[in-house]
Amino acid sequence: MTAARTDPYRPWRGSPDVHVQHYDLDLRYRVATNRLTARAVLTVVPLADVDEVVLELRGPRVGGVTVAGAVLVRSAHRDGLLRLRLAGAAPAGEPLTVTVDYSGRPVPVRSPWGPVGWEELDDGVLVANQPTGAPSWFPCVDRPDLAATYRTAVSVEKPYRAVAHGVLTSVTARAGTTTWVYEQRVPTATYLATVQVGRYDEHRLVDGPVPQLLVTAGPRAAEARRAFAGHGAIMDHHVQVFGPYPFDAYTLVVTPDTLEIPLEAQGMGIFGANHLHARGEDARLVPHELAHQWFGNSVRVASWQHIWLNEGPACYAEWRWSQASGGTGVDALAHGWHARLRRRPQDLVLSDPGYDRIFDDRVYKRGALTLHALDCLLGRAAGDALLRGWTRTQAGRAVTTDDFRAHALAVAGPARAADVADLLRRWLDEPALPALPD
């Protein structure tokens, strides 16, 4: 193991030199009071010799901390950071077991894009962590490049249902409460961990080959089933274009509240009641969220600096599905968005947009245009092979723009490598919007 570098887009956060391999979360939640009582057991592996472990936890108060595998001298929880001072250096590669008991009223984390994380709904909970919201409900090392396995047990009062990332392994009912236990065995970034709580029922949309589940409040069940009746076709299309679906199943959660945009989590897409009536351009949001299971969830980014590798392909997936389903074609959509971006300021570098602009729409659309430009240069078949190779060879890895560049050059081969390198330089590294290839 080697020490992790500090993310240049988030230099002020927790320990750069530890990796949490596993989170075991036991959450007891009361909807009426938004009260969370929890225990988190973290398997922490130092990447270098460390005498301090720093975790992030905002909102809930820490009641107690223990460390197995090292002697804990003291702990302090201030300003959203839980600092654990050890007696001597814990050696690299030797796991520590950190247990944290905490409780309180979780609230979203403030960010340049608004509050993110644990959000109290009118009658339940929505958790959307991207990019910095995970510490609103569990202690963690909140970095997009690090991934861990999870066990998440959520106890809620009847008649509420808890949904979390992973496979549901047990449901235990007792004395007015139900405990839902989920196991996520595929390593997952903290921002993709989630809990959804509501008066939900589960419905099976598609049995296979990729099971697709719908979770929604009873009164909206028929409406939601109609709205997502064609989701199996979107899944089949994405599998054909991007390669095998990377997880066991896909769950669509429809909250009773209105959401500005849908949200992705590991193996899950979260939609608002308003998205049941998506028409026209808003209909693109369903294939967009599904595409993130390949781009962002399976192949994750090494830093938010490289977020175009998540959002560009997801927008490109919208265009591909539009054409495949009889809507506007890819070329027309690309030229339309190219014209719009030409009217925007030419001051964003896709490979390094700046932390405050990682969700700028130009990152999304210019990323998709970059993939379309590669298609124009190499041909659609070669472009599709490039993306399928990317999702296959990079699955489970944290990647950078330079990784994508190297992959594209390898696919292009010696005869086209210079052309591909020049195209990617202009689209990724220069602020001026290039012309689309003929």
pLDDT tens digits, residue range 95-110? Answer: 999 999 999 999 999 9
End-to-end CA distance of the chain: 46
The per-residue pLDDT for 282 is 64
Res. 159: pLDDT tops 90: yes
Mean of pLDDT values over 178-184: 98
List b or e across 273-305, with b for residues whose CB sees 16 or more CB atoms inside 10 angstroms.
bebbebeeeebbbbbbbbbbbbbbbbbbbbbbb
**Could you tell me the CA-to-CA distances from 429 to 105, 367, 387 in Å, in that order?**
44, 12, 20
Taking the model in full, what pTM does it have?
0.96
Contact between residue 126 and residue 65 where contact means Cβ atoms under 8 Å apart: no
What are φ and ψ of residue 427, in 5° steps?
-80, -35
Residue 284: is its pLDDT beyond 60? yes
For residue 148, pLDDT over 70 is answered with yes
The overall average pLDDT reported for the chain is 95
CB 45 within 8 A of CB 1: yes
Task: Read off the pLDDT of each residue in 162-171 and give the average, rounded to a whole number.
Answer: 97
pLDDT at 65 over 90: yes
Which pLDDT tens digit goes with each residue over 382-412? 999 999 999 999 999 999 999 999 999 999 9
Over 80: is that where the pLDDT of 346 sits? yes
pLDDT at 219 over 90: no
pLDDT the model gives residue 281: 61
Task: Tell whether the model's pLDDT for residue 1 goes beyond 80.
Answer: no
Q: CA–CA separation, 13 vs 134, rounded Å?
A: 13
Give the sign of the dihedral formed by CA 388, CA 393, CA 395, CA 397.
negative
Please count the other Cβ atoms lying within 10 Å of the Cβ belonging to residue 258. 9
Quote the strand ranges of 79-176, DSSP E. Answer: 81-90, 96-104, 117-121, 124-128, 148-157, 161-164, 167-174
What's the CA gap between 129 and 142, in Å, rounded? 10
Range 27-46 average pLDDT: 97
Taking Cα atoms as reference points, which of 81, 72, 80, 75 lies closest to residue 63?
Answer: 75
Domain coordinates in residue numbering, the chain: 1-197, 199-293, 300-428
Tokens coding 237: 């299309």
Give the DSSP letter of residue 139.
-
CB 276 within 8 A of CB 224: yes
CATH of 300-428, one of 2.40.100.10, 1.20.1730.10, 3.40.50.720, 1.10.390.10: 1.10.390.10
Q: Distance (Å, rounded) from C-alpha 125 to C-alpha 352? A: 34
Per-residue pLDDT at 14: 83
Whether residue 217 contacts residue 256, with contact meaning beta carbons closer than 8 Å, is answered with yes
Cα–Cα distance between 43 and 417 in angstroms, integer?
44
User: Please, is 31 exposed, middle or buried when counting C-beta atoms within 10 Å of its C-beta (0-12, 13-18, 19+)?
Assistant: middle
Give the confidence band of 220 by pLDDT, cuts at 50, 70, 90.
Answer: confident
Q: Peptide bond preceding 159: is omega within 30 degrees of 0, i.e. cis?
A: yes
- 217 pLDDT higher than 70: yes
The whole-angstrom separation of Cα 97 and Cα 103 is: 20
Domain 1-197, CATH among 3.20.20.70, 3.60.110.10, 1.10.8.60, 2.60.40.1730: 2.60.40.1730
Model confidence band, residue 59 (pLDDT cutoffs 50, 70, 90): confident
- Residue 7's pLDDT is what? 76
Query: Which residue is it, tokens 């549901």?
Result: 168
pLDDT band at 279 (very low <50, low <70, confident <90, very high): low
The pLDDT of residue 294:
98
* Cα 3 to the center of its chain, rounded Å: 24
Give the position of tokens 């723009």.
401
Q: Provide mean pLDDT across the span 228-248.
A: 97
Say yes or no: domain 199-293 is CATH 1.10.1660.10: no
Mean pLDDT value of segment 323-347:
97
At 2, the pLDDT band (50, 70, 90 cuts) reads very low
Burial class (CB in 10 A: 0-12, 13-18, 19+), 330: buried
